[in-house]
Amino acid sequence: MKGTRHVKPFQTEVDYWEKSLTQISESCDGLLNVQRQWLYMEGIFTSDDVQRQLARETTEFKSINQIWQEDILEKIREHSNALYVATQMNFGEKIQNLLKHFEHIQRKMEDYLETKRSIFPRFYFISNEELVEILSLSRQPELIQIHLKKLFDNIKNLRLLTKKTILANGIFSNENEEINLISTLSLDGNVENWLRDLETKMQITVREYLKNSLAALKLQLTKREKWIQDWPSQSCVTASEIEWTLATTKALLTCQTDGNLKSLKKLFRNQVSYEQT
């Protein structure tokens, strides 16, 4: 409207509404920013672990929450006119102060989560909200299992035993294939510690399965179907690739020494016969 030459008789009123609408827009943006930060923080600071580890920031959040609920939202409910709220209630300074407090709490919280990620780097695969949820369930390992597939490539859940503490002695894949851990794992204490121990035991266990399946394959080359049924699929695939590579390398070296392709042709016939049995 200010761009038209006919605005002059209404200039004062147009200026007033331009200023008022700008104030409404700025107020809405500020309130939405605070609400967004509050919703994010409110879900996090209900966690007992976070409250215990970030006691000072928890107190600061409670103070912010009180200002947000009582000094801002309650007054907006009493005066639900957007123009009045934006131009008469002067929430701008309070909103900026709240955002500064949220920024400070966010920084401290991320420092805290970083200490957890430094212990168990696979936590970098998930969001802050998911990490906080996992930390809040540290005393309930059975509920953490839904997050395992986000942290490990193909662990669906653990086989748990309940004694004096909760123990894990096996792993299930997404295909429901099961392997036994090389030793029982205690799921007691901080979740980042036992997840790190789970990663180590998983690696040692898979390495042992691979070593043993490869040794078994060398004894059962002509009974591969039975061998496949006796070992996990990941071990079978990897062991088969190792055995094929070793056999092919040996055949190629023999061909080079003998000056003919007999060894390679013999290997090919053997491989075909393995596939047909």
Q: Are residues 20 and 77 in the same domain?
A: yes
Q: Are residues 235 and 145 in the same domain?
A: no
Among 47, 89, 25, 97, CA closest to 68: 97
Mean pLDDT of the chain: 86
Which of these three, 83, 99, 122, is where a domain ends?
Answer: 122
Q: What is the mean pLDDT of residues 140-168?
A: 90
Is the CB of residue 184 less than 8 Å from the CB of residue 171? no
Collapse the DSSP code of 237 into the 3-class scheme (helix H, G, I; strand E, B; otherwise coil) and give the result: helix
Q: Are residues 195 and 225 in the same domain?
A: no
Q: How far apart are CA 209 and CA 88, in angstroms?
A: 73
Is the CB of residue 185 less than 8 Å from the CB of residue 197? yes
Exposure on the CB side of residue 43, measured as CA atoms within 13 A: 12
pLDDT band at 139 (very low <50, low <70, confident <90, very high): confident
Identity of the residue numbered 216: A
128 inside domain: no
Q: Which helix (H) or strand (E) holds 49?
A: helix 48-53
Domain count of the fold of the chain: 3
Q: What is the CATH number of the domain that holds 174?
A: 3.20.180.20
Q: Are residues 156 and 92 in the same domain?
A: no
Q: Are residues 182 and 228 in the same domain?
A: no
211 inside domain: no
| Structure letter (DSSP) for residue 219 | H
Q: Are residues 188 and 241 in the same domain?
A: no
Q: Are residues 39 and 74 in the same domain?
A: yes
Q: Are residues 11 and 115 in the same domain?
A: yes
Q: Which residue(s) pair with 29 in the sheet?
A: none
131 inside domain: no
Q: Is it the case that residue 44 has pLDDT exceeding 80?
A: no
Among 88, 94, 27, 40, CA closest to 67: 94
Q: Are residues 118 and 164 in the same domain?
A: no
Q: What is the mean pLDDT of residues 27-40?
A: 88
Q: Is it the case that residue 275 has pLDDT exceeding 70?
A: no
Q: What is the mean pLDDT of residues 259-271?
A: 83
Q: Is it the case that residue 53 has pLDDT exceeding 90?
A: no
Q: Is it the case that residue 118 has pLDDT exceeding 90?
A: yes
Print the domain residue range for 69: 5-122
Cα 45 to chain centroid distance, Å, stands at 19
Q: Are residues 20 and 107 in the same domain?
A: yes
Which of these three, 122, 152, 170, is where a domain ends?
Answer: 122
Which of these three, 203, 232, 254, is where a domain ends?
Answer: 203
46 inside domain: yes
User: What confidence score (pLDDT) does residue 39 get?
Assistant: 85
Return the residue matching tokens 């002059």. Answer: 8
Q: Are residues 56 and 96 in the same domain?
A: yes
Q: Is it the case that residue 277 has pLDDT exceeding 60?
A: no
Q: Are residues 75 and 155 in the same domain?
A: no
155 inside domain: yes
User: What confidence score (pLDDT) does residue 83 get?
Assistant: 84
The per-residue pLDDT for range 57-114, each reduced to its tens digit, is: 889 989 998 988 888 888 888 888 888 888 888 788 888 999 999 998 888 888 888 9
Among 60, 165, 132, CA closest to 103: 60
pLDDT band at 26 (very low <50, low <70, confident <90, very high): confident
User: What confidence score (pLDDT) does residue 22 get?
Assistant: 85
Taking 3-state DSSP, the helix, strand and coil percentages for the chain, each rounded to the nearest 5, stand at 75, 10, 15
190 inside domain: yes
Exposure on the CB side of residue 200, measured as CA atoms within 13 A: 11
CB atoms inside a 10 Å sphere around CB 166: 18
